[in-house]
Amino acid sequence: MDPLRRSPSPCTSRPPSPRTPPCEMLGHVGIEAVLEQLKIKAMKMGFEFNIMVVGQSGLGKSTMVNTLFKSKMWKSTLPGLGVPMPQTLQLQSVTHIIEENGVKLKLTVTDTPGFGDQINNDKCWDPILGYINGQYERYLQEEILITRQRHIPDTRVHCCVYFVPPTGHCLRPLDIEFLQRLCRTVNVVPVIARADSLTIEEREAFRRRIQHDLRAHCIEVYPQKCFDEDISDRILNSKIRDRIPFAVVGADQEHLVNGRCVLGRKTKWGIIEVENMAHCEFPLLRDLLIRSHLQDLKDITHNVHYENYRVFRLNQSHALPRGPGWVNLAPAPADLTATPGPWKVRWQAHDSSDEEC
Amino acid sequence: MATKTTCISSQVSDDEQRQKRENVRSLAMGGHVGFESLPDQLVNRSIQQGFCFNILCVGETGIGKSTLIDTLFNTNFEDHESSHFYPHVKLKAQTYELQESNVRLKLTIVNTVGFGDQINKEESYQPIVDYIDAQFEAYLQEELKIKRSLCTYHDSRVHVCLYFISPTGHSLKTLDLLTMKSLDSKVNVIPVIAKADAISKSELHKFKIKLMSELVSNGVQIYQFPTDDETIAKINASMNGHLPFAVVGSMDEVKVGNKMVKARQYPWGVVQVENENHCDFVKLREMLICTNMEDLREQTHTRHYELYRRCKLEEMGLTDVGPENKPLSLQETYEAKRHEFYGELQRKEEEMKQMFVQRVKEKEAILKEAERELQAKFEHLKRVHQEERMKLEEKRRLLEEEIIAFSKKKATSEIYQNQTFMASGSNLRKDKDRKKAPAYRFELLCFDVRACETTGGPKDAEEGREGPSTVGRP
């Protein structure tokens, strides 16, 4: 992926207003019932969401996922319990179906143990990029089949949560490298992990410095400014952008505070409540990811990132002559595995294409 | 407790089977997470995007298509009536933008103009099929582009086809049957009985039964309202039994009771459009717009469009499965096709070159031939010319000889005359007969006259030799 392949200019999901005469209806017709129909259909089909958590070990990724979805998705890893430290970066995915009030969500969480843990972390982002592109590739293959499935299963990563260690200083070179590369391929939401080790002022300072670093390196994290469609979106997203990266604390144990049962971390000097805005910004993260912007995350993945990948892949082959009355559909280059196999795609295949990264 | 599993190869089939295969577990959550707002998020996005709906109305001219659409959407779309004298069936599409509370609908109405008017109706349904195919084709082209913009693409595929059956009360016309049969695999067809106020209730019932049985026996697959979702299954099932809907359209308002309703006024009564006892208009509106609009769109996209796409791609000779029944990616087959195509191209190029060279040779030969002929002609002419010239030379020579001979004679005769003159003048009279004599004598006489100095008129006359020679007169 060359640095020039940035996301295209604002891809509005709203169609351009037609130069057709707006008609006045003389009474109620019932068009708005279509919204209800949409809802019914969507609820019947269920939703899919794929999230990836990236960060060094010990930053609380698994705990965070458990906290987000209020369930034991992962067994939180405790070091030194005989679990061998992975020598290379390996991706692990878990899929669950969770249901709330009739809404079924198929959630896939991909973890990346071993990221940034080696002595030489050069190109440790490659397996991750390979995995993400592999999912795009899968979708693309399904999409260009002649006999397609009615509903193509969506395994593309919709959101990547990046855990920044709470050094309190600024982004490290590894962080910057990784964020630069990944922002062009997937929606990235950086968070400050284990934020209970920073005071409120330190958090603010850290946040400002991170924001400055992101701007300096032209890293566009989610929500991207160029996809704001109208003024209300922009206002809402600016507020969010102001608070990115969120300082979060994860906890999956409940404690009793003031008679209420809350999720929190119990320490000698107090109980850090996860859902208390005064303590940490976990609610903001949860709201962003789940309650308000989930559909938007999926849309941007589908309309922008996937399309970018598709254009890139289709352009990879030589220019083809126009067939009789049909547009170009380019063949895959020889080095990319054509069969949609398991996710452990040989990331060497993508090495050549990622050369210019 | 969730176990860490390696990832998914998800196939779409039954939910249960899929879950079992993927080792996907259902998980109970410990509290409220909040993704129940997901459908709302989806709806919000759709509201922002706006909706698109395309209706195709097929029916004879004057059967009430425009009026029904006006009534359905409670607007006055277009006013003028179309003529009955079109030589071919044409389709006219118009797009309108409607808004109701926060829903924006881009509605496209496609009307068939001149359907059923021609004397020979063989080609009537073809333009309709072509139009529908053209819309699919446009969408397919957009989808296959490299840089595509599907989210901003104005979807013009026909979502529903309202087929207007004229209320004869007997059965389907052949044209209707033929048209519906050719359309049923391409678009959702909903037949309606137009101008239903022309049939009485009992006739209507029989007519409907007859129509449905004819459709079924001819294998025409009209659109069935979906009954798989519990919330709308019941109403849809009951509506399925009322097909085809008998409708009346009218935008005129008539006072009935104490309110104004849309109706048609006759001397014998008022047919109210929105009265369920009078016609099925309300049912049609309910089914078409309020309950199943989304399903119609989905069917168009997932069934009809996919079918078209598959047929089109297979037509191109592309398959998913290779010769040994291994799944072949589209790209590989395309690569193969591309080579083939190139080969073909080369061959054709060679052919054309050969043909060109041949033609050039032929032309050259012809030209050479012509040149030779011309040359021969030229030579021939030249020869002829030469001959003529020689002849002329000959003649000239002869003439010159004659002239020379003549001048010689002249010279000799002059000399001779001089001599005789010198010799004696008495020989003059002897020379009277000689031609030159008079002139000669005249000269002499003139000499005499001069000497005498007389006018010499009578004397001259006496001598009277008319000597035209002017030599003598001074």
Six token digits for residue B147: 């840089």
* Residue B466 forms contact with A (CB below 8 Å): no
Per-residue pLDDT tens digits for B9-52: 333 334 455 554 455 677 777 777 788 888 888 888 888 888 88
Q: How confident is the model at residue B161 (pLDDT cuts 50, 70, 90)?
A: very high
The angle that helices B126-144 and B174-183 make with each other, rounded to 10 degrees, is: 10
Contacts of A323 in chain B (CB under 8 A): 316, 337, 341
Six token digits for residue A142: 């399904």
Contacts of A328 in chain B (CB under 8 A): 144, 146
What residues does A163 pair with on adjacent strands?
A: A191
Six token digits for residue A120: 């030489």
Closest partner residue to B29 among A47, A98, A326, by Cβ? A98
CA distance B390 to B256: 121
Distances (CA, A) of A255 to A258, A259, A263, A278, B34: 10, 9, 6, 17, 22
Q: How many CB pairs under 8 A join A and B?
A: 305
CA distance A74 to B2: 6
Q: Which residue of A has its CA nearest to B26?
A: A97
Sign of the alpha-carbon dihedral angle for B262, B265, B270, B271:
negative
* Residue B316 forms contact with A (CB below 8 Å): yes
Q: How confident is the model at residue B331 (pLDDT cuts 50, 70, 90)?
A: low
Residue numbers of B between 63 and 122 with CB closer than 8 Å to A: 72-75, 77, 94-103, 105-106
Please tell me which residue, A184 or B29, carries the higher pLDDT value: A184
Residue A99 clears pLDDT 70, i.e. is over it = yes
Q: How confident is the model at residue B132 (pLDDT cuts 50, 70, 90)?
A: very high
Per-residue pLDDT tens digits for A41-87: 888 888 899 999 998 888 888 888 888 888 777 665 555 555 555 55
Residue B414 clears pLDDT 80, i.e. is over it = yes
CA distance B290 to B77: 20
Q: Which residue of A has its CA nearest to B147?
A: A311
Window from A94-108, B288-302, B337-351, B455-469 with minimum mean pLDDT: B455-469
| Residue A31, CB-side half-sphere exposure with 13 Å CA sphere | 22
pLDDT at B427: 55
Contacts of A74 in chain B (CB under 8 A): 2, 4
* Residue B141 forms contact with A (CB below 8 Å): yes
Per-residue pLDDT tens digits for A131-163: 999 999 889 888 888 788 888 888 999 999 999
Contacts of B141 in chain A (CB under 8 A): 326-327
Residue A331, classified by CB atoms within 10 Å of its CB into exposed (0-12), middle (13-18) or buried (19+), is buried
Six token digits for residue A51: 């999230």
Q: Hey, which bits of A20-102 come out as E strands? A: 47-54, 92-100
Window from A305-314, B8-17, B175-184, B333-342 with minimum mean pLDDT: B8-17
Q: Which residue of B has its CA nearest to A252?
A: B30
CA distance A298 to B70: 38
| Confidence (pTM) | 0.69
Nearest-CA neighbor of B157 among B188, B195, B190? B188
Cα–chain-centroid distance for residue B122? 20
